[in-house]
Amino acid sequence: MSDNTSHAPTVQCPTCGGPSVFEPANAWRPFCSQRCKNIDLGAWAAEEFRVPAQTPPQDAQYGDPRTED
Ligand SMILES: [Zn+2]
């Protein structure tokens, strides 16, 4: 094996679809850049805001038999 071309493994950036260097030197992997990572995180946050927050059932607080006198 005389292939000494040290090309780092690359993956497809989930945000822009471009090549992303997948190695410790790339702090934003699997994204290609901080910008793409922030975009993805922003998309996640947007999805979270679209989901209505569900309040837990309150009978869990009144279901304790020890509170019965
Ligand atoms: Zn990207």
- The closest of 7, 53, 12 to 31, measured between CA atoms, is 12
Residue 52 has pLDDT above 80, yes or no: no
- CATH (residue range 10-45): 3.30.50.10
DSSP string, the chain: ------PPPEEE-TTT-SEEE-STT-TTTTSSSHHHHHHHHHHHHHHHHHSPPPPPPTHHHH--GGG--
| pLDDT, position 44 | 80
Q: How far apart are CA 40 and CA 5, in angstroms?
A: 32
3 marked among binding-site residues: no
Calculate mean pLDDT across residues 36-61: 78
- 14-45 residue pLDDT tens: 999 999 999 999 999 999 999 999 999 898 88
Calculate mean pLDDT across residues 41-53: 78
51 marked among binding-site residues: no
27 marked among binding-site residues: no
| pLDDT, position 54 | 72
